[in-house]
Structure 1
Amino acid sequence: MLKRVSIIIVCAALLTLVLTACSLGGAASTGPNQVHMDNTSFVQSSVTIKKGESITLVSDTLVGHTIANGTWKDGAGQPAQEPGAPRVDNVAIGGNSSGEIGPFNTAGTFKLYCTIHSGMNLTVIVH
């Protein structure tokens, strides 16, 4: 009987370990300057960073995004790269994953947008 209880406890512990490990998989990222994305928007519309730093875009859902220099205006994508902005040319960030943009080596205000989701704009302010 004691042997059976011990086996059940060990199996329960292993199951708990496996489930915990699986729940940590997703879009977890340890990069600095994280900007999270849901299905159709940036969770925050702007991020402020220091000159020379990058940003980490994190997709928190199964929906992927394609990021580029520019912005949405009146329902239309407006590709544009400000002087000093790093080139961001259709960077694909799959669902439940992350990607790094940068470094931003020039102080200023820079616009990024998701070319797939209308109105999905991000402002990067670099000091």
Structure 2
Amino acid sequence: MYKKLLFVMVCLSLFTVIIAACSIKEQVEASTKVKMGSANFIDTTVTVKKGDSIALVDTVSGPHVISNGTWQGNKAKAGAEPGAPNIGTINFAGNDSKNIGPFTTAGTFEFYCTIHPGMNLTVKVV
């Protein structure tokens, strides 16, 4: 009788531990912060190690919409390089921060603000 009760208690304990472990979400801390001004990236080029992420930090109250691609003159050229994290569009309402990455492939990757002509960011991954 006690063996069965002990067995049931051990099984319930293991089940609880497994459920709790599955609900833990991994958060990746960005090692590099890239600040955005009202219509520009403060640093237009950053270098990170393979496996790192970057945090885009909107330092003003104005909006930004960041995507893969670049401005070439006054013309936007959307598109992700092979190996780049495809971020879709990341919306900033002002005074907020969001991560891009991890960057798992070495290379040079371009990001731009779709609403601010000339607002380009180059990420070099080594």
Preserved CA contact (<8 Å) 2:112 2:119:
yes
C-alpha distance after superposition, 1:27-61 (max 9, x if no partner): xxx84200000100000111100001110000000
Please identify the structure whose Cα radius of gyration is greater.
2
Kindly indicate whether residue 121 of structure 2 is the aligned counterpart of residue 122 of structure 1: yes
Preserved CA contact (<8 Å) 2:30 2:52:
no
How many equivalent residue pairs? 98
Please give the TM-score of this superposition, normalised by the length of structure 2.
0.75
For 1:53, the aligned partner's letter is: D
Kindly indicate whether residue 65 of structure 2 is the aligned counterpart of residue 49 of structure 1: no
Gaps of 5+ in 2: 1-28
**How far apart, in 1, do the equivalents of 2:67 and 2:77 lie?**
10
Alignment correspondent of 2:61: 62
SS at match of 1:61: coil
Please give the TM-score of this superposition, normalised by the length of structure 1.
0.75
C-alpha distance after superposition, 1:74-122 (max 9, x if no partner): 2011001100000011111220000001111000000000001000000
Alignment correspondent of 2:106: 107
Alignment correspondent of 2:94: 95
Runs of 4+ in structure 1 over 4 Å off? none
Gaps of 5+ in 1: 1-29
